[in-house]
Structure 1
Amino acid sequence: MKKFEEKTIKTTQIFDGKVVRLQVDDVQLPNGNTSKRELIKHPGAVAIIPITKDNKIVLVEQYRKPLEKSIIEIPAGKLEPGEDPEKTAVRELEEETGYTTKSISKVTSFYTSPGFADELMHIYLTDDLEKLENPPALDEDEFVEILEVTLEEAKQLVREQRIHDAKTNYAILYLEMQELR
């Protein structure tokens, strides 16, 4: 057994939903003892940092039920089975903002909550936005408002905790670091 590895003895599926699957694993710990791990399995997600020609960040405000409030975020969405993350990023950009792009670059990937979930978030950047004449419709259960803000305004939204999620905070920090170069 590798250092720190927890060997799965048994998996019990609790829930299989549209977005996540919940399971409880019985595991053998490195010291030989056993324990239980509650795990959320997620197909992965993407987010895109869209920058307009006048150097504004395109953000969306939407209600997040787990938080019981609206927050402001970079456009993002769940990967569909077998879908290329880059294609997902462009799709989400189009659906949520009405912009498209022909040029995106990968910034990073990170696990959102590795203590209990396997969701891998891919972050992309584009500064080659083009407004769509006929943008695709949002999902029927999705309601967003589009904001275009400067980096300074985005940092103020962070201070106000209106931007209050990891992916968007990462995006703001990334843009700030690029500005310092």
Structure 2
Amino acid sequence: MQWTKQSEHPVYENPWFHVNLADVELPDGRHLDHYLIRQRPVAVATVVNAADEVLLLWRHRFITDSWGWELPAGVVEDGEDVERAAARELEEETGWRPGPLRHLLSVEPSNGLSDARHHVYWSDRAQWTGEPVDGFESDRRDWVPLKLVPEMVGRGEVPGAGMAAALLLLHHQRKA
């Protein structure tokens, strides 16, 4: 059964997202008001080194008041290529410039509320370029054994659903 958007108008806008209100027609003909968030694409990247360790960030999220492991990520700037944005974010947040990136997956983390798409890339090599420009993004940056990822996800140490999915897929693919 399909819901049909009849109209949509902005309620609030800023550089990171727009909150809109849509008139949605349900399959039985009823209408409802549905708020939605329009967001720019997000580019995500990591590196798995020769020791099969994955580069992760340990950071606090004030919204949920929680700590956890994450992959470097950020919005794709207007006119920017998604893969290039992923490489830029990785270097800005970790100080490591990735080698050639490979697309791992794209996810919609909250498609009942938002049109956000997160595009995840990875590389099997990187070059240290110096301290991260955006060092304020995380408490620390560590190379974590990829074999520990399933247990970390199971313990809730990777709270972001898209990041957990990406790390589990990367773990699975590297095991094969």
Same fold flag (TM > 0.5): yes
1:173 corresponds to: 168
Cα separation, partners in 2 of 1:177 and 1:153, compared to 1, 3 Å:
closer
Structure 1 residue 80, shift from structure 2 partner: 1.2
Of the candidates 147, 151, 155, which is equivalent to residue 146 of structure 2? 151
Of the candidates 113, 133, 141, which is equivalent to residue 110 of structure 2? 113
Q: Where do 5+ consecutive residues of structure 1 fail to align?
A: none
Q: Where do 5+ consecutive residues of structure 2 fail to align?
A: none
Structure-to-structure mapping, 1:94-109, within 5 angstroms:
94-109=91-106
Taking the aligned partners of 1:55 and 1:143, their CA distance within structure 2 comes to 22
Structure 1 residue 106, shift from structure 2 partner: 0.8
- Stretch of structure 1 that moved more, 25-34 or 101-110: 25-34
Of the candidates 64, 71, 74, which is equivalent to residue 68 of structure 2? 71
Instruction: Encode CA deviations 1:153-181: one digit per residue, 9 max, x unaligned.
Output: 33332232121111221122112321342
1:7 corresponds to: 5
Of the candidates 19, 22, 25, which is equivalent to residue 28 of structure 1? 25
- Number of aligned residues: 176
Would you say the 8 A contact 1:47–1:167 is kept in 2? no
Question: Percent identity over the alignment?
Answer: 26
Amino acid in structure 1 at the alignment position of 2:133: A
Would you say the 8 A contact 1:53–1:129 is kept in 2? no
TM-score by length of 1: 0.87
Aligned CA RMSD, in angstroms, stands at 1.9
1:162 corresponds to: 157
